[in-house]
Amino acid sequence: MDELLEILNDINPDADYETNEHLVDDEILTSFELVMLVTQIRDVLDVSIPSEAIIPENFNSVKAMMRLIGRLKEDE
């Protein structure tokens, strides 16, 4: 969780990651920042996110991202 927050704060330090549940829908994370996020998750957390899982619902909140990462780790 802390590592993910660190990645997110690097990409956009101005967002409220604790409470916001519409990060992608409200364009707090833009599509270009989503690319940075997905590649950082791969490089830092060693979790590859398949393209079909890159949809707003999986990145709208930190909780959703953690759920996705957990699911992908289980599948490995």
Partner 1 sequence: MKKNVLEFLEETAVSYPDRCVYSDPERTYTFTEAVRTARAIGSRIGSLKASGRPVAVFMEKSASMAVAILGVLYGGCCYCPIDTSMPEQRIRTILSVLDPVAMVTEQDSRYLAEHFDLKCPVWDFDELSGMPEDTELLARIRNGLSEMDPLYILFTSGSTGVPKGVAGCHRMILNNLCWLEKEFPYEPEDVLGSQVPFHFVISLHDIFVPLRFGCSTFVIPQEYFSSPARLVNCLNSNRITSIFWVPSALTVVSRLNGFDTQLPAFLRYIFFIGEVMPVRYLNYWRRYLPDARYVNMYGSTETHVSMFFELCRDFADDERLPIGRACGNVKAVILDDGGRPVEPGEETEGELYIGGAALSLGYYKDPEKTKDRFICLKTASSEQERFYRTGDIASYDSDGNIVYHGRKDFQIKRMGYRIELGEIEAAAALIPEISECVCVYDEDRQMILMLYTAAEKIDSKTVSSGISTRIPRYMMPNRYIYLEQMPKNANGKADRRGLKELYARSGNRQT
Nearer to partner 1, 6 or 63 (CB): 6
Q: Which residues bind partner 1 (CB under 8 A)?
A: 10-14, 24-25, 27, 29-32, 34-36, 38-39, 49-52, 54-56, 59
Minimum distance of partner 1 from residue 22's CB (angstroms): 12
Residue 32 CB, nearest approach to partner 1 (Å):
4
User: What is the phi/psi pair of residue 3, to 5°?
Assistant: -65, -40
Whose Cβ is closer to partner 1: residue 36's or residue 64's? 36
The dihedral sign for the CA sequence 7, 8, 13, 16: negative
Nearer to partner 1, 57 or 73 (CB): 57
